Structure 1
Amino acid sequence: MDRRRKIIGYIVALLAALAQVVTQAAAPVTAAPALLGLGGSASIFRGQAFDTCQAPPLTTLSAWAASEYRAVGVYYSGRARACPRQTYLSARWLSGARDLGWKVLPIFVGSQSPCVRAASKKGYPIGDDPYDQGWDEGMDAVHDASALGILQHSALYLDMEAYNDKNDDCADTTLTFIRSWSAAVRDKGYLPGFYSSAESGVRHLERARRAGMDDLPEAVWFARWKTSPNTAKEPSLSSTAWAPHRRIHQYAGNVTETYGGRKLTIDRNLVDAPVAVID
């Protein structure tokens, strides 16, 4: 009997040790302040994430603990959001998501490029003064994030849907808006991020980086679907651009998954980038 108890004890101890190793391997890391150019730490998450138009109820996030996802993209502000009325999103929702172990990617869908490709976004163009408009919307992004309990050193991601980056006038207007938005967000102690198609907005941003332009976003979230998830080998980006810990790859879109009896239509993402710091 004593020998049997010892064996059981060894097994329990081994399982506990394995659980600790797995937990440590899956845990996000914190970047050094110098990495992202601000005077405080940024929370970096590495792993699978999903984004969906409407922030799901916390009961769904709890059920989705059975999935491989550990971060969720939230469309928290911006005049061009497809789902402007967020039924569940609030400061309490964000702290609840945090307490359930989820990381959050805040997404701001503001004014769109004058040469945006999506018909649903053509009604929200950047106007004749892209610098001032970008700055004002950057301030809006910070204000709305702060009101939800998203703290400084959080990443806020500007969603700029695919546009014709080969149209020089339109591309210049769009880039001026992006840089001004980024400068405003950075000025308030947040990390400006940028989401777009790998074959338009992200490619355009890389050209600007190579040209030595300043006030560019700190992290890039590139959409390239129907390919294997990989943050390091995006063809539109130099291998050293936005590295390390500054990239997200959206590799699939509009897919339906169910966990714990809760169904969502989502986009799939692989993340190695900063996320929100929740109050």
Structure 2
Amino acid sequence: MSHSHRTLRTLHTLPTLHALRRFAVLAAAAVLGAGTALTFAPPAAAEPATAVGFPSGASATRYSGLAFDTCTAPPLTAIRAWSASPYRAVGVYIGGINRTCAQPQLTASWVTSVSALKWRLLPIYKGLQPPCGGRPTDAKISSAAATARSQGTAAAADAIAKAKALGMQPGSAFYNDIENYVQTDNTCRLAVLSYVSGWTKELHRLGYVSGVYMNLNLGARQLSDAYTSTSYARPDALWIARYDGTDSLKGWTNIADSKWASHQRAKQFKGSHDETYGGVTLNIDTDRLDTPVATVAYTYTVTSSTALNARTGPTTGYPVAKSYAPRSALKVVCQAPGSTVGSTSVWDKLSDGTYVTDHYVSTPSNTTYSAPLPRCTYPYQTTAPGGLSVRTGPGTSYAVVGTLPNGALAWVYCQRSGSTVATTKIWDRMDNGRYVSDYYVATPSNTTYSKPAPRC
């Protein structure tokens, strides 16, 4: 993705850390029950699966389908014309010292308008490049690992600031564009891994999701080789470049399908070329995504004739935090299931972290979920070395219906009490309705509930 007016395209042929986990000397059979896919061992305290400190208004957004990216964000007129295309996500360069193209279109207003047209946004940050790679004119990562880690931390803070100015919300995923580098240079390799680790830890600390873009053979393999290393924080999502015309998100050379396995992969499979839709031609790269993207807020209004209560959770049993007058504007981030009000059990989460019943909000439907609003989810990496059992209910007596590999994302939308596993009774209900023990999920606490996920 070396965008320099498409002339230098290279060949395309990781303040809240996870709480310290206690050592629990208990037999696996007694604690986890029959059919579990893991042995009982302490999960990681920090690296590689660092906890994400999602603030109250955060939610992650996921997109599965075709996407494109361009050096310069297209005008809104082009996005409208491309409604006739198979794409519904677009990559945008939000910042970075090595970002090449000017971005006159990329404003908060543009983000709002494109999102309202039901497009998802894939935020790209082109910061420092490997000391043994990139273009000769690129600003480079330090060859000193400690300095490189600090540079990654600074890049994350800058990406967040740039994204906030564009209206992107906490819980968004940002992708650090790391171009090709020499694979035999060990000092360079350690610098890149340290930089990515600093990037990931800072994004997690501040409540965002970490993504990395790399060439499959000239970068991504080394990131994959460090997947379980306790020296580096592991990014949540991997976006590879491999211009082979195949859009599969599995079967990547030297990267096992068990790595970044749960809606954590993207592939740029076709390089710079022109496509035309609605009479508008754009020069694009083509991508297949099944991965976290940007979270934005959508504006709707209060439709009730009296004040609408906003609560601290998605049921009428939660306390009232504030109220909104009729016809007030609301900034809705996501939707969650909750108690039934009128014709619906859907609740709208606002950008301040409070919830209102969707029955009195001007979303397209007041009986069910409304596109383009995503469901409220909070992805955390799993930490069980042998894989984490997925069950039909919140306890070890429930049937095992699958396994999340080590490092996969558990897309949590609520938590509830269940049978005890090591230090906790908390079980995480995922967006597919299945449950995993919170002990093996890198939430901020492994003894009690972790905000902002509501109680089930």
TM over 0.5: yes
Partner of 2:201: 183
Q: For residue 272 of structure 1, what is the aligned residue in structure 2?
A: 290
- 1:36 and 1:174, CA in 2 relative to 1: closer, same or farther beyond 3 A? closer
Quote the Cα distance in structure 2 between the aligned partners of 1:133 and 1:93. 30
Check if 1:160 corresponds to 2:178. Answer: yes
Match of 1:124 among 136, 139, 142: 139
1:88 corresponds to which of 101, 105, 108: 105
In 1, the alpha carbon distance for the partners of 2:259 and 2:275 equals 33
Aligned ranges 1:1-279 → 2 under 5 Å: 38=52, 39=54, 41-83=59-101, 85-116=102-133, 118-119=134-135, 122-127=137-142, 128=144, 129-279=147-297
Q: Distance in 1 between matches of 2:285 and 2:204?
A: 27
Distance in 2, Cα, partners of 1:47 & 1:36: 28
C-alpha separation in 1, matches of 2:99 and 2:268: 18
Separation in structure 1 between the aligned mates of residue 163 and residue 138 of structure 2, nearest angstrom:
24
Q: Deviations over 1:183-238 (max 9, x none)?
A: 11111101010001001221111011144544121000000102311112211311
Write the distance in 2 (CA, Å) between the matches of 1:97 and 1:47: 17
Q: How far is 1:123 from its partner?
A: 2.5
Q: Per-residue displacement from partner, 1:8-55 (whole Å, max 9, x unpaired)?
A: xxxxxxxxxxxxxxxxxxxxxxxxxxx996455421110000000000
Residue 197 of structure 2 contacts residue 234 of structure 2 at CA under 8 Å; is this kept in 1?
yes
* Preserved CA contact (<8 Å) 1:112 1:122: no
Q: Give RMSD over aligned pairs.
A: 1.7
What is the CA–CA distance in structure 2 between the aligned matches of 1:172 and 1:43, rounded to whole Å? 31
Unmatched 5+ stretches in structure 1: 1-34
Structure 1 stretches of at least 4 aligned residues deviating more than 2 Å after TM superposition: 35-41, 210-214
Give the helix-richer structure, 1 or 2.
Answer: 1
Contact 2:50 2:204 in 1 (8 A): no
Structure 1 length-normalised TM: 0.83
How many Å separate the matches in 2 of 1:270 and 1:130? 30
Larger strand percent = 2
**What residue is the counterpart of 1:10 in the other structure?**
none
Q: How many residues align?
A: 242
CA gap of 1:122–1:179, structure 2 versus 1, over 3 A, is farther
TM-score, normalised relative to structure 2: 0.51
Structure 1: how far apart are the matches of 2:231 and 2:287? 28
Amino acid at match of 2:119: W
Q: Sort the Cα spacing of 1:152 and 1:72 in 2 relative to 1 into closer, same or farther, 3 A.
A: same
SS at match of 1:277: coil
**1:74–1:63 Cα change, 3 Å:** same
Fraction of identical pairs, as percent: 37
Paired with 1:188 and 1:73, the residues of 2 have a C-alpha distance of: 22
Relative to structure 1, is the Cα distance of residues 213 and 36 closer, same or farther in structure 2, using a 3 angstrom cutoff? Answer: closer
- 2:428 is matched with none
Query: In structure 1, what is the Cα distance between the partners aligned to 2:193 and 2:252?
Result: 21
Asked whether the equivalents of residues 203 and 237 of structure 1 are also in contact (C-alpha less than 8 Å), the reply is yes
CA distance in 1, matches of 2:154, 2:258: 31
Query: 1:138-190 CA deviation, whole Å, 9 max, x = no partner?
Result: 11111111111110111000000111132101111111111101111111101
| CA distance in 1: counterparts of 2:238 and 2:139, whole angstroms | 22
**For residues 143 and 236 of structure 1, what CA distance do their matches in structure 2 show?**
35
- Aligned letter for 2:183? D
| Unpaired stretches in structure 2, ≥5 consecutive residues | 1-48, 298-456
